[in-house]
Amino acid sequence: MAEALTVSATIAGRGFDVDLTIAEGERVAVVGPNGAGKSTLLQLVAGSLRPTSGSVALGGREVASPTTYLPPHRRRVAYVEQRPLLFPHLDVLENVMFGPLARGVKRQAARARAVAELEATGCGDLVHRRPAQLSGGQAQRVSLARGLAFDPDVVLLDEPFAALDASVTPELRRLLRHRLHGLTTILVTHELLDVVTLADRIVALEDGGVVADGPVERVSASPSTQFLADLVGVNLLGGTVVAGNRLDLGVVELTGLYNDDLVPGHHGRATVAPDAISLHRSRPEGSPRNALRGSVVAIEPRGPVVGVTVDVGQRLRASLTPAAVAELELSPGEEVVAVVKATQVRLHPGD
């Protein structure tokens, strides 16, 4: 597949050092903790930041390096930000016509293109409104229509739902899923639902660099960092491989499902879903299951269940019913035994 975007660049002041190639039509979710470099990556591609070293290429053409620089308005990049930046003095139609006009498309054709995009984003009846007369969700749709009317090589979305009322996000997510189909996209998000519905690939950034990169199914089935494990909602434990089905966690051994790729003596990872863990006051008699001793660190409601975090040398979160928490009379600092069946423990090689 043709390359749509290559970023191989550093930015000295921000500790940013990323190598990334995105194929045409690929939809990439960029995730990572605060300060990881997600916005910096978008700014580099959009052109509001220049690399200290390395380069950015769009469709095989270098658009930025320490010696070249194509300004944002000359790049075919649509940038949909958290809070849409529409021209306040232009109506919706004129806002969306702006891109095609700036590219030299004749007025009548630009108008037709803008109307078509606005209709496709469900804004056909808003054409004569000013941005100040739009709801947040409507403004975000118009911002998307404006970006797409530009015939972009790449669409950048920076947490497009973050500033919106939760009631409008499902419909906007559906719209994006439909409209972004086949378009090269970078989506910055903190939501797993956005990742699984809108992306084919996950790139995880931490401290200005790529720490995980792969298809959504693979990265979410085998998260390699604590951030990814939290995003996917599973526990991640690290240890030394003892055998294809056993990991030494330092204080105790953990038995899981056999994995051919594990190499004894090397680093390995285990993932366990919080609802596969039960907590007990003492180790259940005669149970062949994994039993990890630890103390309760936190107890917090998570929807209909209660999340209990236990320090077993590493952090482990169990999902319990409120009744189970009450019955065990759990409170922070209490000693407990976390029990999990080997069939509920997935083992992965460390990276």
Ligand X SMILES: Nc1ncnc2c1ncn2[C@@H]1O[C@H](COP(=O)(O)OP(=O)(O)OP(=O)(O)O)[C@@H](O)[C@H]1O
How far apart are CB 8 and ligand X at their closest, in Å? 17
- Cβ-based nearer residue to ligand X, 79 or 150: 79
- Cβ closest to ligand X, residue 28 vs residue 296: 28
Q: For the stretch 136-167, what's the b/e string if a residue is b when 16 or more beta carbons lie within 10 angstroms of its beta carbon? A: ebbbbbbbbbbbbbbebbbbbbbbbbeebeee
Cβ of residue 35: shortest distance to ligand X, in angstroms? 4
Place of tokens 């390995």: 268
| Nearest to ligand X of 37, 47 (CB atom) | 37
CA distance 326 to 328: 5
DSSP assignment of 298-319: EEEEETTEEEEEEESSSEEEEE
CB closer to ligand X out of 37 and 160: 37
What's the closest the beta carbon of residue 171 comes to ligand X, in angstroms? 25
Tokens 């979160």, residue? 317
Q: Which residues 62-121 are close enough to bind ligand X by CB under 6 A?
A: none
Place of tokens 């491989």: 241
268 binds ligand X, rule: CB under 6 A: no
Considering Cα of 119, then 124, then 130, then 131, what sign does the dihedral take?
A: negative
Q: How far is the CB of 203 from ligand X (least distance, A)?
A: 12
Binding to ligand X in span 12-71, by CB under 6 A: 13-14, 32, 34-40
Residue 37 or residue 84: which is nearer to ligand X going by CB?
Answer: 37
Q: Which of 63, 81, 82 is nearest to 72 (CA)?
A: 63
Instruction: Note whether 347 and 270 are within 8 A (CB).
Output: yes
Q: Which is nearer to ligand X, 42 or 219 (CB)?
A: 42
- Cβ-Cβ contacts under 8 Å for 34 (sequence gap 6 or more): none
Least CB distance from residue 146 to ligand X, whole Å? Answer: 23
Cβ distance to ligand X smaller for residue 19 or 327: 19
Rounded to the nearest whole angstrom, what is the least distance from the CB of residue 15 to ligand X in the complex?
6
CB-count burial class (<10 Å; 0-12, 13-18, 19+) for 213? middle
Smallest gap from Cβ 39 to ligand X, in A, equals: 3
In the complex, the residues that contact ligand X under the rule CB under 6 A are: 13-14, 32, 34-40
